[in-house]
Amino acid sequence: MQTDELAPSSTGRGGGHGGGHGSGGVLNTPPWRRAPLLVARQPPVFLALALAAAVLALAAASGPLFLAATGTAALHISAARSCPEQGEAGLSVAGDAAATQFENLLPTGQLTGTDRIVRSAAARAGLPAPYLTVGTTINLAPSGPNAPRAVDLFSRPGALDHVQKLTPAGRAGVWITDTVASNEGLRPGSTIKTFGGIRLPVAGIFRDLIGRGIDPHLPRYWCSWSTQIAGSGANAAPPFFIADLATLTRSTPYVAPSWFAPIDVGHITVPQARTASVAVASVPPAVTTATGGQVRLFVHPDLGELVRQATLVHSGLRGPIIPIDIAGAIVALLLVGGAAGFWVVRRAPELRLLVSRGVGPVALAIKALLEIAPAVIVGGLAGWGGAIVLVRSIGPSSMFEPGAPVRSLAAAAAACAAGLVLVAVIGAAAAREPRAGRGAVRVLAWLPWELALLAAAFGVYLAVHRHGAVHSVHGTVQVHPTILAFPLLLLAGGVLLLCRLAGLGLPALRRATTPLGIAVYLAVRRITGTAGVAIALAVGTALPCGILVYAAAQTASVDHSVSLKFDTYLGAPHALGTLADPDSTIPLAGHGTQVAVVSTDAFVVGGNQIQMIGVDPATFARFSFSDPQVAAAIRGLTPPVDGGPAPALWVNAHGARAPKGVRYVDDTVRTVHIVGRLDVFPGLRDGYSPMLVVNRRAFLHLSPFVHRDQEVWTTDDQLAAARAALTRHGIAVLFEISPTTFLDHTDLLPVTWIFSYLRVLAVLAGLVAIAGLVFALAARTRRRTSSYVLTARMGIGRGSHRRSIVIELVLVVGFGWLAGAAVALTAAASIYRRFDVNSSFPPPPSLSIPVMTLVASGAGVVVVVLLAAAVTQWLADRADPSEVMRLE
């Protein structure tokens, strides 16, 4: 912005002629005495400075706060996805002297004493009082042909509150499931006889937690005991009964006790959780000592694992977030610089007078500092408070780690100090001969700085290609800062280069629009006449829009790629693992397709293990995630004819030679005939090894030693019907396949958060740009009152004037938007391939164009243009034409 030729309007008005010179009295007091008073006399200057400082402090402080919130948020999210006990400090009896996790039993007689010792050790460690859970499997005396041989007895305070009781509570004894009660004719008051001859009274009946044996949906309370309750894989579990502790200990000589100190990791910070996980480690040695080595406990690893994962997420974010934070602070510094420039403009008469009296740059810098510091301090504190409120309300978590507010205050203070240095520099520059700098500025502007930026971007691009943009530490995705440095450098360099190139075309544009209407004519001349302002506006638009588009493109691409990987893993919207007989055909009646999966028991002849799936070509494409290529390929998968080779597809081979045959785990060998090769096929469960796809009938008559799971794949709308068909035929569904084994959404949190943060930065930069736009337009309009009044007199109506402003802004801001979006998409397109959050699993990433963000940012640009035009018109209309006749 050109400010040096600005005639301060305050001198012309109000104070009569030469108002600036009339304040000689104030000038006689030393600057440090007057300074704080002066800025308070000019509320607009104070406000502009305080606002700029607030934005600066907000940008600087939000980084540390955001980081402090991410670890905690990751902890809470992981805790919500785990069983409740995994987020507590858990202890169990160790099976070996080394007290590793090998779980063992405790003689029942030692339970009470051990419990007392554990409680006091936990209290000494500062943990909340633990609760005790005890489980044991007891064998029953044979009572009938279908009667259970064994049952699991479980005791935990309050457990009965989490089942549906079918009989009134009251007596002590064993609560049994309604399934067993009706099968065995048991009711409250009956007795169960253990193999050892102990009689246990039935105290009540509750509804079986796993319904009728199909697909358990257990309440969260029972999450940790789901295997005992529902069994796992093909192994059905013994009935799960609940007993009071006395009954349980009476029933068995050995028990498996666990203690859980309920620290509720879902509601505390990472350091608190870490403290608890460290504290609990002191309990086992204490117990060992107190029992004279008789009882050894081990600490459940879950809490430590949660803390470690949260720490990983946090440390994975530090690298990218800090640079974004600094970039945001630099953008905000521009705003502070602008506000300081405003101060110089408003102070121009006094500054000129001081300079003419020989006051040097250092004195002026001190004057600027003293005058501006109060506003910057007030604004800085407000911005810091704003950052706390902002991150609390829209950040990943509302809980900060202790110390985070202080750290963020330090960051805000450092940024404000940088802002004050800038202010001092600008103040000192005011002492300079205004014309002197012009030539230097022109030379600096002429140099192609953007090429240096582009070269740096290219360097980062090479680094991304060499090292990738992400890697995974214990499953948690760690994003390299290069994924942010590259687009920022490319955006800055690319947009500046585009602006320079567009600038070369301006004279031609000027000539071309000469014969056009007056609105276009004026708009184009305003752009070409002060090209510096136009370039600043275009860049100011391009950067935030570009950052938004880039962040959206990368997020959308990651989301899309991950969902493609998930789809590949699952094979179909729903993949149900069943207990159906291997060679049977499940009567699905058109509600799904049957798939046989050999995950571990097949090998290439003379080679490595491979995955195999057997499909039903008639129905496969309809119910699976099949593209036309897959659908075409499976048509060739006919059943093998009389011991001949089975037609097969060779998938995910990574160049491995196609096999001639398959050797199964029982050493039978079957030949295959490769009819097609594909990189990806639905149902691929292991990214590292190749997969053979054959007709399901190719598995017929294999020995029972070759383990092949029978899965039912189906779509959302057919799921209920498919389940009903399975139930009708008495086929149990064991589980639904879930992709979390190879990629959990928690693992992606760093990616999600980094790009959310980048978006917030873009929005901040956008707001700064809008403020700058309005400010620049307002300053220009004030300066151009007389030409506006004169052109109005010549016959340019308000409509034409407003139209010409809209055209000007549409051209400049529209160009900025286009340039930003184009460069951002270029940046995204050139590195998305290296942004693979799980490169071991196909398919590789694909680029998604963020249509919504493009549309939304475009609409935002239109709104800003219209608003800015309205503001400009309003300011122009307020001009008093009678001022024009006299000198401005």
Partner 1 sequence: MVKHAAPEGEESDPIRARSGLVRGRGLSKTYRRGAEQVHALRAVDIDVHPGELVALAGPSGSGKSTLLNVLCGWETPESGSLAYSGALAGRDAIDLEWAQLALVPQALGLLEDLTVEENIMMPARIVGKVKSERDRGHELMDRFKIAHLGRRYPRQTSLGEQQRCCVARAMLLRPALMLADEPTAHQDAALGDVLFETMRDHARAGGGFLIATHNPDTWGHCDRVLSMHDGQLREGAPDIVH
Which residues lie near partner 1 (CB under 8 A)? 5, 16, 518, 521-522, 525-526, 528-530, 784, 786-787, 789-791, 793-796, 881-888
| Contact call for residues 847 and 557 (beta carbons, < 8 A) | yes
Q: Encoding tokens for residue 851?
A: 């249509």
> Which C-beta is closer to partner 1: that of 132 or that of 531?
531
How large is the angle between the packed helices 482-504 and 449-467, nearest 10 degrees? Answer: 150
> Which C-beta is closer to partner 1: that of 326 or that of 884?
884
> Which C-beta is closer to partner 1: that of 740 or that of 787?
787
> Which C-beta is closer to partner 1: that of 327 or that of 522?
522
> Which C-beta is closer to partner 1: that of 463 or that of 518?
518
Min dist. Cβ of residue 865 to partner 1 (A): 19
Min dist. Cβ of residue 45 to partner 1 (A): 24
Min dist. Cβ of residue 10 to partner 1 (A): 16
Closest CA to 723 of 577, 606, 824, 866: 577
> Which C-beta is closer to partner 1: that of 211 or that of 532?
532
> Which C-beta is closer to partner 1: that of 37 or that of 790?
790
- Alpha carbons within 13 A on the beta-carbon side of 647: 14
Min dist. Cβ of residue 14 to partner 1 (A): 9
Assign 3-state DSSP to the chain and report helix, strand, coil percentages, each to 5.
55, 15, 30
> Which C-beta is closer to partner 1: that of 5 or that of 667?
5
> Who contacts 761 (Cβ-Cβ below 8 Å, separation ≥6)?
59, 324, 327, 328, 331, 547
Q: Which residues of 769-801 are buried (b: 16+ CB within 10 A; e: fewer)?
A: bbbbbbbbbebbbbbebeebbebbeeebeeebb
> Which C-beta is closer to partner 1: that of 5 or that of 716?
5
Min dist. Cβ of residue 341 to partner 1 (A): 19
> Which C-beta is closer to partner 1: that of 180 or that of 522?
522
Min dist. Cβ of residue 432 to partner 1 (A): 20
3-class SS of residue 82? coil
Q: From CA 697, how far away is CA 328, in angstroms rounded?
A: 62
Q: Hey, how many other C-beta atoms are within 10 angstroms of the C-beta on 751?
A: 24
Min dist. Cβ of residue 550 to partner 1 (A): 34
Min dist. Cβ of residue 372 to partner 1 (A): 30
> Who contacts 566 (Cβ-Cβ below 8 Å, separation ≥6)?
739, 743
> Which C-beta is closer to partner 1: that of 330 or that of 810?
810
> Which C-beta is closer to partner 1: that of 96 or that of 888?
888
> Which C-beta is closer to partner 1: that of 720 or that of 790?
790
Q: From CA 614, how far away is CA 597, in angstroms rounded?
A: 6
Min dist. Cβ of residue 554 to partner 1 (A): 40
DSSP string, 515-574: TS-HHHHHHHHHHHHTHHHHHHHHHHHHHHHHHHHHHHHHHHHHHHHHHHHHHHHHSSSE
Q: H helices of 690-832, where?
A: 719-728, 749-783, 785-794, 798-831
Min dist. Cβ of residue 520 to partner 1 (A): 12
Min dist. Cβ of residue 355 to partner 1 (A): 22
Q: What are residue 649's DSSP bridge partners?
A: 676, 693
Min dist. Cβ of residue 798 to partner 1 (A): 14
Min dist. Cβ of residue 342 to partner 1 (A): 20
Min dist. Cβ of residue 511 to partner 1 (A): 12
Q: Any idea how long the chain is?
A: 888
DSSP letter for 602, please: E
> Which C-beta is closer to partner 1: that of 358 or that of 795?
795
Q: Encoding tokens for residue 770?
A: 């809008």
Min dist. Cβ of residue 13 to partner 1 (A): 11
Q: Encoding tokens for residue 479?
A: 């994003």
Q: Which residues of 443-480 are buried (b: 16+ CB within 10 A; e: fewer)?
A: eeeeeeebeebbebbeebbebbeeebbbebeeebbbbb
> Which C-beta is closer to partner 1: that of 19 or that of 573?
19
Q: From CA 694, how far away is CA 692, in angstroms rounded?
A: 6
Min dist. Cβ of residue 528 to partner 1 (A): 7
> Which C-beta is closer to partner 1: that of 373 or that of 522?
522
Closest CA to 112 of 128, 93, 132, 92: 132
Closest CA to 530 of 30, 5, 146, 79: 5
Q: From CA 769, how far away is CA 593, in angstroms rounded?
A: 56
Min dist. Cβ of residue 343 to partner 1 (A): 24
DSSP string, 27-70: HHS-HHHHHHHHHHT-HHHHHHHHHHHHHHHHHHHHHHHHHHHH
Closest CA to 822 of 465, 545, 484, 485: 545
How large is the angle between the packed helices 482-504 and 531-570, nearest 10 degrees? Answer: 140
3-class SS of residue 791? helix
> Which C-beta is closer to partner 1: that of 521 or that of 735?
521
Q: From CA 277, how far away is CA 376, in angstroms rounded?
A: 43
